[in-house]
Structure 1
Amino acid sequence: MADNILSVNQISVGFARRNIVEGLSFQLQPGDIGCLLGASGCGKTTVLRAIAGFENLRAGTISLDGQIVSSTSQQLAPQLRGIGMVFQDYALFPHLTVAGNVAFGLKSLSKSEAEARVAKMLALVGLADLGARYIHELSGGQQQRVALARALAPQPRLLLLDEPFSNLDVELRERLGQEVRAILKATGTTAILVTHDQHEAFAVADQIGVMSEGHIRQWGSPYDLYHEPVDRFVANFIGEGVLLPARLTSPQCIEFELGQLCRTTDVACCVGCDMEVLIRPDDVQHNDASPLKAKVLSKAFRGAEFMYTLGLPSGQTLLSLVPSHHNHAIGEDIGIELEMDHLIVFKT
């Protein structure tokens, strides 16, 4: 297994008497794209600034390529860390052309080498013909690409992206997220994205750390976070779904309003104990022939699908993604069935 490019080990960062981040750890291997995902104020940008060298540690260490760059006793200067950064506002120089911005960090190269590197970077981000333009002549998406090209030009060993898509509209954010991932993978760049938007995180990252109050609640792939959340916080934060009351009827099976469900491993609870089961919208399938019925309380059209909010006889509600050619009226009873490959339960 490859050595880690980045190791963040039990770090704490704070101001005055308050810790913003406490006991936080994760690692990235070469070429991996990580993400710190969480709401405003959870500490994710503070972690990014500590990695960059802009914040001192109160505990723990940060290592790059096996070298400790931050600890309580030493702090390598930001400019010596070989880290590139794409800021939320891009921080581009308005008095320089696009090419001038990309060339800014290449002062150690000869003129011909710098020009070749700039041309390569602009081609990589799809701006090969715009090198002579100034920043105010570009769209928001083009400016974001310039910022990315500038950060990648010096070939950093680690790239940090601080909410890089937050100033863009939703559709452009999603498309650029996929493009940025493709560019980072094409260059083999190890990177960390900070965002509050799980769609961005899913589009870009290989591994995601869901953060809350200065801690990582779960570090894993987007698939694992969605289908195997470790606690209610992650289950509620990632994706959509509802928690329904249930009871453990055997070491591996629960019973609730919609029937009995089992899994291959034991549930960490005594038989008879009260549980909650996580039901995702994609777990609830529409089937007119099913004896299980639920009432359409509301619906949101999403093009290929409707997101139905369904009411159960008990008063509990479910969410269900249904192909949009099944256009049911509000108040209508429809047949449903569960198709669940992942049974996620939490003890109450």
Structure 2
Amino acid sequence: MTIVDKTLTEDEDSKRWGPRGTAGATFAGLLEFENVSKRFGRTAAVMDVSLKLHPGEIACLLGPSGCGKTTLLRIAAGIEKPDLGRLLFDGQEMAGPSRFVPPERRNIGLMFQDFALFPHLSILDNVAFGLRNLPRKEAHTIALHALERVGLASYAANFPHHLSGGEQQRVALARAVVPRPQVMLMDEPFSGLDQRLRESVRAETLTLLRETRASCLLVTHDPVEAMGLADRIFLMRQGRLIQAGTPEELYRKPADAAAARFFSDTNEIRGRLTGAAVDTPLGLFPAPPYASGQTAIVMVRPQGIKRARQGEGIEGFVTETRFQGDDVKCTVIFQGIEEPLTALIDSRSAPVKGQAAWFTIDQEHVFVFEFGSAAPIS
């Protein structure tokens, strides 16, 4: 094969996915964490986490930096041992009080954000690295098919430094899936790519994962990425599992105020609970019965503030507008609320800066929580 010397730019790379075959399927595995805890010195990285990754499921461990999601992934990979609890793979204990199975015996594929390609090996040899138990010719045939699937068969003789970031990411993906693992573990694999390339590579990765049918547990701090990829999301905070469910469940029914903030921007105002409603300057919002006079926090997503006809809804004064394509980001002052609120209004009906306008509130984008408490009220 002839070495291709040209290194593609990130933008060119996104257009160069060549002819691709179909990835080989595997038998997906069931991965279970049972009351897993892990400490590093005085720091509790993971505390009593229990969750299941079902066969063929793509799930995301989502949360801010330091919340314990990567530690869970490393425990699943066999890089770390849990202090308490057990890790089960298809019902068999991989790590726990009585057993520890090393990484190479877990039939798990690993993919990290730095790609971890071997610089001294060709692209073909990098992909074939996990097939060392096969004859060299057979391993290269299988590896070449994997490269074909990710559109890089013509680069098989090149070395990693000849490739762009997006191409290296696809090589790492091919290497991870070529042994046909039952479970794929991915640690923020798209974080090193620019936004436009990230979206295209993410879509191709999802297609490949569906084809291989492997169970996949992916770590990310990006809620948009999690909602776009996952069948289920496990939301982590300070070493604990806060909420688990489908992307729609977590977006529409956040477990607490912090979870609501994590999935989108919010406007937050205080109100008084009076019976089954919360009284605010924006109006009454339904809530379960609580003692009269109790303070609540009402969270309204910017897209929940809608433009209304003149004289309908609530009047507000528009102090700022920012065109964002389909939407206009508006800063609006409402009577009785100290801080201005942010609204995302369809650009075809956006109000004019420096003028009064009328607005309504979409209840679908409103969440009510007891002030100072993580417990949801609605």
TM-score, with normalisation over the residues of structure 2? 0.84
Match of 1:233 in 2: 258
Q: Is the 8 A contact 1:51 1:62 kept in 2?
A: yes
The whole-number CA distance in structure 1 between the counterparts of 2:296 and 2:267 is 13
* Greater mean deviation of Cα atoms: 165-174 or 155-164: 165-174
Two-structure CA RMSD over aligned residues (Å): 2.2
User: Are 2:317 and 1:295 equivalent residues in the alignment?
Assistant: yes
Which has the higher mean CA deviation after the structures are superposed, 113-122 or 135-144? Answer: 113-122
The structure-2 alpha-carbon separation of the partners of 1:275 and 1:322, relative to structure 1 and needing over 3 Å to count, comes to same
- Gaps of at least 5 residues in structure 1 are none
> Could you list the per-position Cα deviations for residues 23-67 of structure 1 after superposition, in whole angstroms to 9, with x for gaps in the alignment?
112111111111111222222111111111111211111111111
> Does the aligned pair in 2 maintain the 1:157–1:189 contact within 8 Å?
yes
Which of residues 335, 355, 360 is equivalent to 1:332? 355
Q: Does 1:149 align with 2:174?
A: yes
Deviation string for 1:319-343 (max 9, x for gaps)? 3221223454433322211222365
Which residue of the other structure, out of 15, 33, 36, is the alignment partner of 2:58?
33
The aligned counterpart of 1:284 is 305
Greater shift after overlay, 18-27 or 309-318? 309-318
CA contact (8 A) 2:112 2:189 kept: yes
**For 2:152, what is the secondary structure of its paired residue?**
coil
Residues 299 and 82 (structure 1 numbering): CA distance in 2 closer, same or farther, change over 3 Å? farther
The 1-side partners of 2:342 and 2:358 are apart by 13
* Correspondence for 2:342: 319
Q: Identify the match of residue 261 of structure 1 among 279, 285, 289.
A: 285
**Is 1:275 matched up with 2:296?**
yes
Closer/same/farther in 2, CA of residues 217 and 317 from structure 1, 3 Å limit: farther
- AA aligned to 2:294 is C
Amino acid at match of 1:261: F
Instruction: Report how many aligned residue pairs link the two structures.
Output: 343
- Distance change >3 Å, CA 300–CA 140, structure 1 → 2: farther
Over 3 Å counting, the alpha-carbon distance change for 1:30 and 1:17 in structure 2 is: same
How far apart are the structure 1 equivalents of 2:198 and 2:329? 22
- Most deviating of 27-36 and 178-187: 178-187
Counterpart CA distance in 2 for 1:162 and 1:89 is 9
Partner of 2:21: none
Q: TM (normalized to structure 1)?
A: 0.91
* Amino acid aligned to 1:165: F
For residues 370 and 29 of structure 2, what CA distance do their matches in structure 1 show? 36
Distance 1:193 1:286 in 2: 39
Describe the shift of the 1:76–1:322 C-alpha distance in structure 2 as closer, same or farther (beyond 3 A).
same
**Taking every aligned residue pair, what percent have the same amino acid on both sides?**
38
* 3-state SS in 2 of match to 1:94: coil
- For residue 243 of structure 1, give the secondary structure of its aligned residue in structure 2: strand
- Give 2:305's aligned amino acid: V
Shift in CA distance, 13/224, structure 1 to aligned 2, threshold 3 Å: same
Deviates more, 1:267-276 or 1:95-104: 267-276
